[in-house]
């Protein structure tokens, strides 16, 4: 009986998720679409759901920003994690900053936030500065 309930729960969760435009990243298992490295740090991950319904994920916001620079249409369907609290943000609404000395998976130093004020507060609490300009993708 427990196995049947577990199977039903798994099927239900998969069906509930099928219409979502949030990427489904399996941390510690999924690989970055650009470099192939296993994605391990949620706060620096980004991704989108492709036309085939599969997640395309990136391990570092620098990798994501490089992909977007080559294909600006990705911005509209992409999401990034807020470095402060881990929530998903639409990439088009996020603020990206390069923080001095911030250790990110590929060393880009980029972090995403819901606002520039949040980015400044985060940098201040870490005792770091960030280089201008603040990057936003809203105009892409």
Number of structural domains found in the chain: 1
Structural domain including 85 reads 21-136
Is residue 126 in a domain?
A: yes
Query: What is the C-alpha separation between 11 and 68, in angstroms, rounded?
Result: 33
Give 128 or 73, the one with higher predicted confidence: 73
* pLDDT of 16 higher than 60: no
Q: Say if CB 97 and CB 59 are below 8 A apart.
A: no
Is residue 131 in a domain?
A: yes
Is residue 60 in a domain?
A: yes
Tell me whether residue 120 is exposed, middle or buried, using C-beta atoms within 10 angstroms of its C-beta: 0 to 12, 13 to 18, 19 or more: middle
Global pTM reads: 0.79
Give the mean model confidence (pLDDT) for residues 118-130.
84
* pLDDT of 84 higher than 60: yes
**pLDDT above 70 as % of the chain:** 81
Place of tokens 């970055």: 32
pLDDT range class, residue 96, cuts 50, 70, 90: very high
Is residue 15 in a domain?
A: no
What's the whole-number average pLDDT of the chain? 84
pLDDT of residue 122: 87
Rounded to 5 degrees, φ, ψ at 110 are: -85, 140
Is residue 73 in a domain?
A: yes
Query: Could you give the 3-state DSSP secondary structure of residue 24?
Result: coil
Least-confidence region, from 79-88, 108-117, 129-138: 129-138
Residue whose C-alpha is closest to residue 118's, from 82, 64, 90, 81: 82
């Amino acid at each position: 009986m427990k196995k049947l309930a577990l199977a039903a729960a798994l099927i239900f969760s998969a069906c509930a998720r099928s219409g979502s435009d949030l990427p489904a990243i399996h941390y510690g298992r999924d690989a970055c679409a650009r470099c192939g490295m296993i994605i391990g740090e949620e706060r620096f991950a980004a991704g989108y759901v492709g036309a085939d319904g599969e997640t395309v994920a990136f391990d570092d916001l620098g990798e994501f920003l490089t992909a977007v620079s080559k294909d600006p249409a990705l911005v509209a369907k992409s999401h990034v994690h807020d470095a402060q609290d881990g929530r998903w943000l639409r990439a088009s609404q996020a603020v990206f900053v390069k923080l001095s000395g911030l250790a990110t998976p590929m060393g880009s130093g980029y972090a995403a936030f819901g606002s520039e004020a949040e980015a400044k507060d985060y940098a201040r609490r870490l005792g770091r500065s960030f280089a201008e300009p603040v990057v936003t993708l809203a105009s892409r």
